[in-house]
């Protein structure tokens, strides 16, 4: 079984008695059937037993925070809400960059985004790991996320002015993120059970004009571990989130 035969087995389309047969796996046989394939060799390549899983295995994906604005709030600070979001993926490039974001229903982020139809997706760094429970384990209806973040050294002090690069006047942002994406809802939400999937158009991609010490460019290497982009694998390793992806309270981490 040469490597060339395996490649041919996966790529070639053969025709047997006028019927198109796609060979998706297996090993071609010189003296097999009329089509050139030996069914017994094909079956030998397939696993004969599978083990069913209760849930898909955990994968390592980037960690974001979606900043949204509540226009009904009379409090300039309380008007901005942020969450933790890991269900985010690019799905198209031209004519516009489009991503799919999955938003948990009943949350303030879901409510704000549905009303306004826009927000800023912030790619977090490892130094933001202490904010995961504040942003992702609690609701903005119950706690002052801005105040809690400020107490942990991350004051929401970046306000986007009218005509700015992101074009989100009045929205506060989390300092020190690797990149900020201005996202706008493009079409109706898609029902995904306990989540709604939003197809969004990327209208702007920005990074801080003045980088902090050790912070690297988007396409460059960061100088310190704290400034590396944050992934879920890192959070699981540090027990900041559970294997099921839930944010663990800080008191549990101290035990």
Closest to 75 in 3D by CA, of 150, 145, 177, 174: 145
Neighbours of 191 (CB within 10 A): 9
**pLDDT exceeds 70 at position 100:** yes
Instruction: Please state the pTM of the whole predicted model.
Output: 0.75
Domain that residue 138 falls in: 64-208+222-253
Evaluate whether residue 56 is within a structural domain: no
Domain count across the chain: 2
Residues 79 and 12 in one domain: no
Q: Which residue has the higher pLDDT, 220 or 71?
A: 71
**pLDDT exceeds 70 at position 23:** no
Evaluate whether residue 186 is within a structural domain: yes
**Structure tokens given for 76:** 């300039």
Q: How far apart are CA 65 and CA 13, in angstroms?
A: 46
* Least confident among 28-37, 154-163, 208-217: 28-37
Q: What pLDDT is recorded for position 161? A: 59
Residues 90 and 11 in one domain: no
* Least confident among 14-18, 124-128, 155-159, 217-221: 14-18
What average pLDDT does this structure show over 197-210? Answer: 89
**pLDDT exceeds 50 at position 119:** yes
Q: What is the pLDDT of residues 36-56, one digit of tens each?
A: 666 666 566 666 788 888 888
The size of the chain, in residues, is: 255
Evaluate whether residue 52 is within a structural domain: no
Residues 184 and 154 in one domain: yes
């Amino acid at each position: 079984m040469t490597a060339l035969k395996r490649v041919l087995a996966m790529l070639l389309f053969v025709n047997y008695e006028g019927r198109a047969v796609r060979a998706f796996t297996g090993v071609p046989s010189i003296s097999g059937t009329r089509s050139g394939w030996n069914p017994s060799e094909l079956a030998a390549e397939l696993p004969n037993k599978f083990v069913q899983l209760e849930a898909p295995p955990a994968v390592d994906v980037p960690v974001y925070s979606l900043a949204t604005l509540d226009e009904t709030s009379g409090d300039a600070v309380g008007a901005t809400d942020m969450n933790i979001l890991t269900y985010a993926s690019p799905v198209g490039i031209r004519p516009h960059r489009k991503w799919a974001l999955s938003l948990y229903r009943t949350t303030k982020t879901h409510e704000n985004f549905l009303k306004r139809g826009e927000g800023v997706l912030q790619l977090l760094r490892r130094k933001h790991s202490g904010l995961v429970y504040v942003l992702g384990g609690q609701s903005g209806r119950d706690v002052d996320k801005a105040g809690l973040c400020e107490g942990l050294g991350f004051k929401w002090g970046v306000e986007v002015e009218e005509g700015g690069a992101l074009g989100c006047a009045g929205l506060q942002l989390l300092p020190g993120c690797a990149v900020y994406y201005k996202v706008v809802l493009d079409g109706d939400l898609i029902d995904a059970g306990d989540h709604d999937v939003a197809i969004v158009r990327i209208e702007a991609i920005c990074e801080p004009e003045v980088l902090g010490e050790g912070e690297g460019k988007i396409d460059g290497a960061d100088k310190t571990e704290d400034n590396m982009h944050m992934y879920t694998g890192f959070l699981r390793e540090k027990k900041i989130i559970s294997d099921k992806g839930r944010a663990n309270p800080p008191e549990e981490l101290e035990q």
